[in-house]
Chain A
Amino acid sequence: MATPSSEAPPRLRPVAWPWWVGAGLLLALFVIYPPVRLVKRGATASAAGGATAATFSAAAWVETFWRDRLQPAATRAPELAAFLQTLRDRPSAARSGSGKVLLRGSGRVTAVERNRVLVEVEGALVALVTGPVFGNAVRDGSGLVEVNDVPGLAEFNEVSAVINRLVEERVQPGIRAGARPGVVLRFAGCAEVPEELPAAPAPLLSLVPVWVEVTP
């Protein structure tokens, strides 16, 4: 009679892995898939709108732009009279690019209206805006500001609003004070080039002035 112990199947002996194998695997796992990730403060701020956006000052930015870039550009802008000739002869060529331009010229005042002054430039009529300034004629027409120069679209729009305010504060008062029919104005300004030429007697262009000099 066989004893039960001699008939029982042999028991599998568990493999004795060294403890450091498990620890090593665990360490490797934490290196490959870290449970936490450290990021720089700046990266978090950027994700939430960007520290640069939060600290951007349109007023300071525009002040530098106005002084160091716009005013020098105004002195060497293309001649208005030549541009008006192109506008009449080849309107599509005049409208190339952003459709907004910075020009300089001179002419005699023919009329002073509520929100504009009409000026005759070599036989063509243009208007200088003296009322509220809206839009992006100066920002875009100068060709000096690009959307990626500032943190985002909101700041890009803010730049435009501040530029327009400076025009109203620094340029328009001089025109309103000195412009009378017969007076000669030297000026530089930005305009949106019209898709179709306006019928006379409407002015060919409406310029937002960025610099002006009144000669009695």
Chain B
Amino acid sequence: MLNSLRLFAGMACLAALALLGCKPSSPAPSGGASGTASATRRVAVVVSTLNNPWFVVLAETARDRARELGYEATLFDSQNDPAKEAQHFDNLIAAGYSAVLFNCTDAGGSVANVRRAKAAGIPVFCMDREITANDAAVSQILSDNYSGCVALGQYFVEQVGEKGTYIELLGLIADTNTWNRSKGFHSVVDRYPDLKMVAQQSADFDRSKALEVLESLLQAHPNVNAVFCGNDAMAMGAYQALLAAGKASKVKVFGFDGADDVVRSIAEGKITATVMQFPKTMARSAAENADRYLKGERNFPQRTPVAVELVTRDNVAKFGDYGRKP
């Protein structure tokens, strides 16, 4: 009996030592006022995907602004996979990063990752995509998607008319941006009973999926007047599908994001409209919030909506490079 207890105690000691060895090699930041960004401080930029130019701009701007502020900054691509995102958080917590600039894959599911980082003393600053908790991230810099799609919906009615049929391509189902955009759009369009949505399907914010989904939907609904897409990547995929079906000149395509290729397509008359959200503004603000936090500031509003702007053929000359031209 005594031998067993001794063996168990020895194993417990070994386990304790092993767990101690798992602690971050550099201490987690206390968030105290260091005054300047130490050379050893590192910022992680965790982004939902780098398979979409808009998110590449968001992530690289956040990384570059963090570097300008004196931090080492590293990109982590979650590839739209919550499991990969969770692994990134495991790694960055173990590695003792000072802060996370975060674009989540799942509004609800990602909250646990943010809480784990917070528990480890690593503050998280959300960019563009909301998490559904008010006490996990330090701040959330978010696009005002609903308002943008209200404006887009009004322009949609102007362009398509008060009578017709349309298809909606939704983004990621678990992302609140998907629904804020859809609800903003429908808050307008649903007021016109003769404007009928004949199909609504997710294409995961992905260009290739949008192409496939719309090709399939056009078989069942060949005479639609318009396609409303929850982002610009899907709008480009939808346009390709319409082009292949010989309907590009007859069906109006609406996007959201303000991606460069779509802004050019609006100027060329291929896409009807998009909504410019400002990834560079959001990324810089998140990085600057992180810097201020690490220097001791604590008074941050939980959510800060960033205004968006409707881009049409009438005003497209004012926009480019993911924002307004100077």
B13's partner among A25, A148, A152, A157 (CB-CB below 8 A) is A25
- Interface: A177 (CB within 8 A): no
Segment at the interface with B among A4-12, A67-75, A129-137, A180-188: A129-137
- In the bound complex, residues from chain A placing their C-beta under 8 Å from that of B9 are 17, 21-23, 25-26
Tell me if A135 and B151 are in contact (CB < 8 A).
Answer: yes
Tell me if A153 and B151 are in contact (CB < 8 A).
Answer: no
Assembly CA distance A26 to B12 (angstroms) = 6
Assembly CA distance A29 to B112 (angstroms) = 25
Assembly CA distance A48 to B111 (angstroms) = 8
- In the bound complex, residues from chain B placing their C-beta under 8 Å from that of A147 are 301, 303-305
Tell me if B184 and A157 are in contact (CB < 8 A).
Answer: yes
CB distance from A166 to the nearest CB of B (A): 15
CB distance from B104 to the nearest CB of A (A): 13
Q: Which A-chain residue is minimally distant from B192 (CB atoms)? A: A132
- Interface: A2 (CB within 8 A): no
Q: Is the interface of B mostly helix, strand, loop or mixed?
A: helix
- In the bound complex, residues from chain B placing their C-beta under 8 Å from that of A46 are 133-135
- Interface: A200 (CB within 8 A): no
Q: Which A-chain residue is minimally distant from B13 (CB atoms)? A: A25
Number of A-B contacts (CB under 8 A): 95
Tell me if A32 and B130 are in contact (CB < 8 A).
Answer: no
CB distance from A31 to the nearest CB of B (A): 11
Tell me if B16 and A154 are in contact (CB < 8 A).
Answer: no
Assembly CA distance A47 to B113 (angstroms) = 10
- Interface: A49 (CB within 8 A): yes
Tell me if B305 and A157 are in contact (CB < 8 A).
Answer: no
Q: Which A-chain residue is minimally distant from B318 (CB atoms)? A: A195
- In the bound complex, residues from chain A placing their C-beta under 8 Å from that of B191 are 132
Q: How many residues of B contact A (CB 8 A)?
A: 43
Instruction: Write out, one digit per residue, whether chain B residues 298-317 have a CB within 8 A of any chain A CB (1) or not (0).
Output: 00011111010000000000
Tell me if A148 and B303 are in contact (CB < 8 A).
Answer: yes
Within 8 A of B (CB), among A101-136: 132, 134-136
- In the bound complex, residues from chain A placing their C-beta under 8 Å from that of B303 are 147-148, 152-153
- Interface: B10 (CB within 8 A): yes
- Interface: B187 (CB within 8 A): yes
Segment at the interface with A among B39-47, B74-82, B175-183, B211-219: B175-183
- Interface: B226 (CB within 8 A): no
Tell me if A153 and B305 are in contact (CB < 8 A).
Answer: yes
Tell me if B188 and A134 are in contact (CB < 8 A).
Answer: yes
A48's partner among B15, B108, B184 (CB-CB below 8 A) is B108
- In the bound complex, residues from chain A placing their C-beta under 8 Å from that of B142 are 153
Tell me if B5 and A47 are in contact (CB < 8 A).
Answer: no
- In the bound complex, residues from chain B placing their C-beta under 8 Å from that of A22 are 5-6, 8-10, 12
- In the bound complex, residues from chain B placing their C-beta under 8 Å from that of A157 are 146, 180, 183-184
Assembly CA distance A53 to B176 (angstroms) = 13
Tell me if B6 and A19 are in contact (CB < 8 A).
Answer: yes
Tell me if B132 and A48 are in contact (CB < 8 A).
Answer: yes
CB distance from B48 to the nearest CB of A (A): 17
CB distance from A213 to the nearest CB of B (A): 27
Tell me if B8 and A33 are in contact (CB < 8 A).
Answer: no
CB distance from A24 to the nearest CB of B (A): 8
- In the bound complex, residues from chain B placing their C-beta under 8 Å from that of A143 are none
Knowing A135-B147, A136-B147, A148-B301, the reply to whether A154 touches B135 (Cβ < 8 A) is no
Tell me if A153 and B6 are in contact (CB < 8 A).
Answer: no
Could you list some 8 contacts between A and B, CB below 8 A?
Answer: A19-B2, A33-B19, A135-B151, A135-B154, A148-B303, A152-B134, A156-B146, A157-B146
Top 5 A-B pairs ranked by shortest CB distance?
Answer: A22-B9, A157-B146, A49-B132, A47-B111, A22-B5
Name B residues whose Cβ lies closer than 8 Å to a Cβ of A: 2, 5-6, 8-10, 12-13, 15-16, 19, 108, 111-112, 115, 130, 132-136, 142, 145-147, 150-151, 153-154, 176, 179-180, 183-184, 187-188, 191, 301-305, 307
Given contacts A47-B112, A134-B188, A153-B145, 16 further A-B contacts (CB under 8 A): A17-B6, A22-B8, A26-B9, A29-B16, A48-B132, A50-B133, A99-B307, A132-B188, A132-B191, A136-B147, A147-B301, A148-B302, A153-B142, A154-B176, A156-B146, A157-B180
